Amino acid sequence: MRGAKRSAKNTAKNISLLVLCGLMGVLCAVNWLMGLNIAQMPADSALRRLHDRFVGGAVGYEIRSSGVSAADPAQMALTVDGKLYGVQYNLTDIDVGITATRSLWSQALTGEGLRQADESELCTALRSGSCALLRYHGAIPMQSIAGWLGGSWKDNDRLQVETLVYAAGVQRLFVRMADGRLYAADAAVSQNALEEAQKNFRGLSCSFAGDAYAVYPETLLFDSEALSLPVLKPAQINLFAAQSGTGLEDLLGAFGYTAYTDFYNEQDGTVRVFLDDTSTLRLNASGLVQYASTDGSATVSAYDESDITDAAALDAQLDCARLILDAAQRAGDTDTHASLYAVERSGEQTTLIFLQMYSGVPVLGDADFATFVFDGSALRTATIRLQKFQPTGGKRTVMPAKQAAAGASGAERGLMAAYRAQDGQYVPSRFYLKNAAE
């Protein structure tokens, strides 16, 4: 009897040991998988699937954007109690306006079927009743704007838009392309969404230019515009300063490097070149950031999935570029932010171009502020020209839009406020934008 009990105990111990040995083997395998550079493996490989099963990969599922917009509107407007009110070039006012009108735009941007429209049709719609407007700098993909505002535009022809106008009186959405072309589509917004937006929206009294001036009919003309902006002077950036240590580590991390990555110095220590087997990152202490990767692989990957929709891939690329720009601007302590200006796509290659913004106003230079080139999910090249500014104490009042509209010619259809370099300073001014279609 005792022999039988002893035998049962030994069997239980042996089984326990076998189970523990099996668990140790599994844990070692998981630890090995997590240490691999899995981003370089094909998404449909057996090892990649095994890795994703253990560490929570999402192969087979469409990725989701962070929902954070890569571009802020330059202007917004909404009809309230029969009167048009607008906000412009102010990040706080724009954020509040977006919150107030999000439900309206999410409904207006859930549709399809754009067709070419003419200016007279838009002018009539602007007089037909309540209207809402969003205007961006440059050409922004319409599907991206819809995604940021909770909509889901169905047309997948890579539309690049500058201005959106919803006219409640005719229930139509008008879309202005960056080259001046005008399109329209049916759009229905519930009365509740419109009334809720009107209840929460705040702005300054303004009106549409209509057909009274040579500018676009949807141009906002403020009744008592006094856009007074500070004159700026360049300030020194030092990415390698001691106080920038954490910021520099974050910037390296954004490009897939660590503080222990191999690097060498150039130009008396003012340039550091970080490199690994697949990519090179060149940092100039004064703010120039340049990244390049080989065709075979990349340190930075926007997404892992092998089969995702066109819109989801672009959203992931925008998120990837935006996060890198955030890290770069923190490292330089620039007190500026970036805003998407243009998207150029050719085959699998996507080029993203960003403006540098100071308190919601673009700072224009001789070259683009930031450019990212993606080949599918892989970031191939990136160039960022960081700048830092300080107010001089002086201010300039930008020419009012009414006055600028009155002086516009047939080809000068758009208006823009921006900073330009002038005599060693950056001075705000009103600029005319020509219609490329003319």
pLDDT digits (tens, 9 = 90+) for 57-84: 333 333 445 568 999 999 999 999 999 9
pLDDT at 434: 78
Name the nearest CA neighbour of 332 among 391, 267, 273, 246. Answer: 246
pLDDT at 81: 96
Longest CA–CA separation in the chain, Å: 110
Residue 50: both structure tokens together: 């095994």
pLDDT at 271: 95
pLDDT at 60: 32
Name the nearest CA neighbour of 137 among 364, 299, 326. Answer: 364
Q: What is the Cα–Cα distance from 321 to 352, expressed in whole angstroms?
A: 8
pLDDT at 347: 86
Arithmetic mean of pLDDT, 209-222: 94
Q: What is the DSSP letter of 114?
A: -
Arithmetic mean of pLDDT, 417-435: 91
Task: Determine which of 15-24, 122-131, 310-319 has the lowest per-residue pLDDT on average.
Answer: 15-24
Going by their DSSP bridges, the two strands 378-385 and 370-375 should be labelled as antiparallel
| Distance in Å from the first CA to the final CA of the chain | 103
Determine which helix (DSSP H) or strand (DSSP E) holds 177, and give its type and residue range: strand 172-177
Arithmetic mean of pLDDT, 312-321: 92
Radius of gyration of the chain (CA): 27
Task: Determine which of 284-298, 327-341, 376-390 has the lowest per-residue pLDDT on average.
Answer: 284-298
Arithmetic mean of pLDDT, 338-348: 92
Higher pLDDT, 109 or 295: 109
pLDDT at 24: 72
Q: What is the DSSP letter of 356?
A: E
Q: What is the DSSP letter of 209?
A: -
Question: Could you tell me what percent of the chain has a pLDDT over 90?
Answer: 62
Cα angle 423, 428, 434 (rounded to 5 degrees) comes to 105
pLDDT at 411: 75
Name the nearest CA neighbour of 309 among 187, 153, 170. Answer: 153
Backbone angles phi, psi at 301, to 5 degrees: -125, 130
CB-CB contact of 317 with 302 (8 Å): yes
pLDDT range class, residue 385, cuts 50, 70, 90: very high
Where do the DSSP E strands lie in 204-314?
Answer: 204-208, 220-222, 228-235, 263-266, 271-275, 279-284, 288-293
Going by their DSSP bridges, the two strands 388-397 and 220-222 should be labelled as unpaired
Backbone angles phi, psi at 53, to 5 degrees: -65, -40
Q: What is the pLDDT of residues 12-29, one digit of tens each?
A: 666 666 666 666 766 666
Higher pLDDT, 63 or 184: 184
pLDDT range class, residue 44, cuts 50, 70, 90: very low
Which range of 159-163, 198-202, 344-348 scores highest in mean pLDDT? It is: 198-202
Task: Determine which of 40-44, 273-277, 391-395 has the lowest per-residue pLDDT on average.
Answer: 40-44
CB-CB contact of 84 with 94 (8 Å): no
Q: What is the Cα–Cα distance from 162 to 139, expressed in whole angstroms?
A: 5
At residue 153, does pLDDT exceed 80? yes
CB-CB contact of 398 with 426 (8 Å): no
Task: Determine which of 152-166, 204-218, 326-340 has the lowest per-residue pLDDT on average.
Answer: 152-166
Residues whose CB is less than 8 angstroms from the CB of residue 411 and which lie 6 or more positions away in sequence, other chains included: 434, 435, 438
Higher pLDDT, 87 or 156: 87
pLDDT range class, residue 226, cuts 50, 70, 90: confident
CB-CB contact of 198 with 166 (8 Å): no
pLDDT at 5: 52
pLDDT range class, residue 265, cuts 50, 70, 90: very high
Higher pLDDT, 438 or 362: 362
Name the nearest CA neighbour of 355 among 89, 57, 76. Answer: 89
376: left (phi over 0), alpha (psi -120 to 50) or beta: left
Name the nearest CA neighbour of 110 among 68, 65, 143. Answer: 143
pLDDT at 259: 77
Higher pLDDT, 23 or 428: 428
Arithmetic mean of pLDDT, 417-430: 94
Helix spans in 127-279 (H): 142-148, 191-200, 245-254
Name the nearest CA neighbour of 76 among 230, 202, 175. Answer: 202
Higher pLDDT, 13 or 194: 194
Q: What is the DSSP letter of 347?
A: T
CB-CB contact of 323 with 302 (8 Å): no
pLDDT at 59: 34
Amino acid in position 138: G
Mean pLDDT, rounded, of the chain: 85
Arithmetic mean of pLDDT, 104-127: 94
Residues whose CB is less than 8 angstroms from the CB of residue 103 and which lie 6 or more positions away in sequence, other chains included: 150, 193, 196, 197
Arithmetic mean of pLDDT, 152-170: 87
